[in-house]
């Protein structure tokens, strides 16, 4: 799991990532980092699923998404059982986060 030390904090302004319900986005699969990954198309942008947590941990996931959104394009998707954080495939920090997740 990503933790609060993974993301820088900026006290000046807060960018709130949108929360999308199931059906309000277009999921797809793509090959990345030697495996099949979940992707999402939303408002002419492609996103990579960075993390998924159960709905009981949605506050933690949204807090991390808010911190990450200070520097990257981020969205959150919600279903009745889980929440996912997605980062733009154009993010220069994407490979950093993917490597960090693989070491957990």
Q: Where do the domains of the chain lie?
A: 4-102
pLDDT-derived band at 13 (thresholds 50, 70, 90) equals: low
| Cβ-based neighbours of 20, under 8 Å, separated by 6 or more | 42, 75, 76, 77, 78
End-to-end CA separation in angstroms for the chain = 7
Q: Which residue has the higher pLDDT, 6 or 91?
A: 91
Mean pLDDT over the full length of the chain: 86
pTM: 0.80
pLDDT over 60 at 10, yes or no? no
Length of the chain: 104
pLDDT tens digits, one per residue of 48-66: 999 999 999 999 999 999 9
Give the model's pLDDT for residue 99: 77
**49 to 1, 29, 60, 89: CA distances (angstroms):** 13, 10, 16, 10
Task: Pick 4-102's CATH classification: 3.40.50, 1.10.1330, 3.30.200, 1.20.1280.
Answer: 3.30.200
């Amino acid at each position: 799991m990503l933790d609060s030390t993974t993301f820088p904090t900026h006290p000046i302004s807060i960018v709130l990532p949108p929360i999308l319900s199931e059906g309000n986005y277009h999921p797809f699969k793509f090959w990345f980092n030697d495996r099949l990954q979940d992707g999402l198309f939303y408002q002419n942008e492609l996103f990579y699923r960075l993390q998924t947590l159960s709905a009981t941990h949605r506050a933690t996931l949204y807090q991390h998404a808010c911190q990450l959104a200070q520097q990257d394009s981020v969205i959150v998707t919600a279903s009745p059982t889980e929440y996912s954080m997605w980062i733009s495939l154009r993010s220069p920090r994407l490979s950093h986060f993917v490597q960090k997740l693989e070491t957990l």
